[in-house]
Amino acid sequence: MTGVEDRVIVVTGAGGGLGREYALTLAREGASVVVNDLGGSRDGTGAGHNMADQVVDEIKEAGGRAVANYDSVAEPEGAANIIKTAVEEFGAVHGVVSNAGILRDGTFRKMTFENWDAVLKVHLYGGYNVIRAAWPHFREQSFGRVVVATSTSGLFGNFGQANYGAAKLGLVGLINTLAQEGAKYNIKTNAVAPIAATRMTQDVFGDEIQRKLAPEFVAPVVAHLCTDEITETAAVFVVGGGKVQRITLSQNPAVNFATPPTVEDVARRWAEIVNITSTEPAVLDIG
């Protein structure tokens, strides 16, 4: 088997924007797709079936295979039902694209706990819930592909998005650990930070930039990360506007102390510690 042909892929938040394009692309490439969408508004309120149903209709009209699911990823029970839909409809689940998300922007000073919690529940807990529900299937069949939607707001920061940025970078920490735990089961876990024009970004990007950033530039990368051929894991990609870039951590040469330093010792060598004119890929080394 090559590509995603005859694989079963769950795409959350697939009723519009990037998620819709992911689902359409995966279906065109031969995957059976679970199109999950709660059908709510951008801030997570409300619900409905129309968005997911329309994407499923598009896929079927083009000769593809798809089924709709309307559960919320924010609750473990909803996530379990999403995976149950895949198994009952198509007999298996081979991949998860964790894309569902909401926005409740505001400066940190004004951000309420309700808005902080709501965003983390959908993005971070939602990612955990769906991947956790699929994980036993991945282990049992010695195959799984996970793609989480991270964000440049988490990687680089973005004014007014402390909740969103924290949730999105939390997903990178999740896939880093899952890459280690899933290695012997042929489970690959990666992240994509999309830069694209959707209803989620209509207040972030200006009109001119919005026009240049079609979701169609991002979807092929996400689909490729779901294929059998992928060997990368724990990788993060920034994708949008025709550019695909891998983002990695880097480190400068270590400043070493033979004995526990004083505060003055650290201050004296601070210029060396913060110097990043020479860097290399970061590795965990405490030797």
Residue 28 lies in a domain: yes
Residues 238 and 272 in one domain: no
Residues 159 and 266 in one domain: no
Residue 3 lies in a domain: no
Tens of pLDDT, residue by residue over 125-146, are 999 999 999 999 999 999 999 9
Residue 190 lies in a domain: yes
For the segment 83-93, the average pLDDT, to the nearest whole number, is 99
Residues 145 and 67 in one domain: yes
Evaluate if residue 24 carries a pLDDT over 90. Answer: yes
pLDDT score, position 204: 61
Tens of pLDDT, residue by residue over 43-65, are 787 778 999 999 999 999 999 99
Tens of pLDDT, residue by residue over 194-206, are 999 876 666 666 6
Residue 2 lies in a domain: no
Residues 262 and 192 in one domain: no
Lowest mean pLDDT of 2-11, 37-46, 171-180, 217-226, name the range: 37-46
Name the band, by pLDDT with cuts 50, 70 and 90, for residue 1.
low
Distance, in Å, from the CA atom of 232 to the CA atom of 145, rounded to the nearest integer, reads 11
Evaluate if residue 287 carries a pLDDT over 90. Answer: no
Residues 152 and 223 in one domain: yes
Residues 120 and 255 in one domain: no
Residues 177 and 267 in one domain: no
pLDDT score, position 209: 77
Q: How many CB atoms lie within 10 A of CB 219?
A: 26
Q: How many CB atoms lie within 10 A of CB 110?
A: 9
Residue 200 lies in a domain: yes
Mean pLDDT taken over the chain = 94
Residue 42 lies in a domain: yes
pLDDT score, position 238: 98
Q: Which amino acid is at 134?
A: A
Q: Which domain holds residue 266?
A: 251-281
Evaluate if residue 286 carries a pLDDT over 70. Answer: no
Residues 127 and 240 in one domain: yes
Residues 172 and 54 in one domain: yes
pLDDT score, position 211: 73
Position with higher pLDDT, 183 vs 213: 183
Q: Which of 22, 125, 128, 164 is catalytic?
A: 164
pLDDT score, position 200: 60
Evaluate if residue 93 carries a pLDDT over 80. Answer: yes
Residue 172 lies in a domain: yes
Assess whether 185 carries a catalytic annotation: no
40: CB partners within 8 A, 6+ apart: 46, 47, 48, 102
3 state SS for the chain: CCCCCCCEEEECCCCCHHHHHHHHHHHHCCCEEEEECCCCCCCCCCCCCHHHHHHHHHHHHCCCEEEEECCCCCCHHHHHHHHHHHHHHHCCCCEEEECCCCCCCECCCCCCHHHHHHHHHHHHHHHHHHHHHHHHHHHHHCCEEEEEECCHHHHCCCCCEHHHHHHHHHHHHHHHHHHHHCHHHCEEEEEEEECCCCCCCCCCCCHHHHHHCCHHHCHHHHHHCCCCCCCCCCCEEEEECCEEEEECCEECCCCCCCCCCCHHHHHHCHHHHCCCCCCEECCCCCC
Residue 57 lies in a domain: yes
For the segment 249-265, the average pLDDT, to the nearest whole number, is 96
Domain harbouring 86, CATH code: 3.40.50.720
Residues 82 and 175 in one domain: yes
Residues 268 and 132 in one domain: no
pLDDT score, position 2: 65
Task: Take residue 47 and report the two structure tokens written for it.
Answer: 């619900």
Evaluate if residue 273 carries a pLDDT over 60. Answer: yes
Residues 268 and 218 in one domain: no
Tens of pLDDT, residue by residue over 190-249, are 999 999 987 666 666 667 777 789 999 999 999 999 999 999 999 999 999 999 999 999
Q: Provide the number of structural domains found in the chain.
A: 2
pTM above 0.85, yes or no: yes
